[in-house]
Amino acid sequence: MLSAQKKEFIEFMMSADVLRFGSFVTKSGRQTPYFVNTGNYKTGLQNSRLGEFYAAAIKQTIGDNFDAMFGPAYKGIPLATSTSGALARNFGIDKPFFFNRKEVKDHGEGGSIVGYKPQNGDRVIIIEDVITAGTAIRETMPVLTGCADVKVTDMFISVNRCEVGQTAGKTAVMEVGEEFGIKVHSLITVRDIYEYLKEQGTYADILPQMEAYMAQYCVFED
């Protein structure tokens, strides 16, 4: 069932040219009929709305049951920033955020972490755009555990592509859950996108491509 909230988010992504349809090749070399590029968010209003979608998802799933949020460089940085603002503004949940530099700074305050300095025992949530192969999260975890003895509990992403990861029969999201004990929450899934297109009745050319793609590459838990 496609909820009004999911439909609104899909239309928001399409209006920002972040969710596109056609013929694309993913980083993993797969031919795909749809593509998500969160780098296309570029206005203040888009950034503000995006943070509100993430903040609503956090409020609905874990509330204020965390200590800080982390945005992995680079795309996670504006995501964590806008989400933290929306959480405080819309729900009164005022939590610190931090992010990493790709290059360690050797002057001034130094180090690779900007913003909040994690403490031992902190429950950290990650704000990210998508998980395709799980490579980024495997790079991120050593950064976080190198800061302090933190517990990464949850991760919030825009789209769960539901694509098979490194293990047959398991998606990258499932692998991240098993490998790191992180619960991954997505605002929408590839199935939601498919249902939306079907509902619109104007994407007859894309639907068979989506069906073929999902049959070949996707794994669904239910």
pTM, to two decimals: 0.91
Active-site hit among 107, 117, 185, 198: 107
Q: CATH classification of 4-103+114-217, choosing from 3.40.50.720, 3.40.50.300, 3.40.50.2020, 3.30.70.270?
A: 3.40.50.2020
Walking along the chain (222 residues) 10 residues at a time, the average pLDDT comes out as 94 97 84 91 96 98 98 91 97 96 56 88 94 78 90 95 87 90 95 95 93 92 70
Catalytic residue among 105, 117, 151, 170: 105
Q: Is 107 a catalytic residue?
A: yes
SS3 of the chain:
CCCHHHHHHHHHHHHCCCEEEEEEECCCCCEEEEEECHHHCCCHHHHHHHHHHHHHHHHHHCCCCCCEEEECCCCHHHHHHHHHHHHHHHHCCCCCEEEEEEEEECCCCCEEEEECCCCCCCEEEEECCEECCCHHHHHHHHHHHHHCCCEEEEEEEEEECCEECCCCCCEHHHHHHHHHCCEEEEEEEHHHHHHHHHHHCCCCCHHHHHHHHHHHHECCCC
Does residue 6 carry a catalytic annotation?
A: no
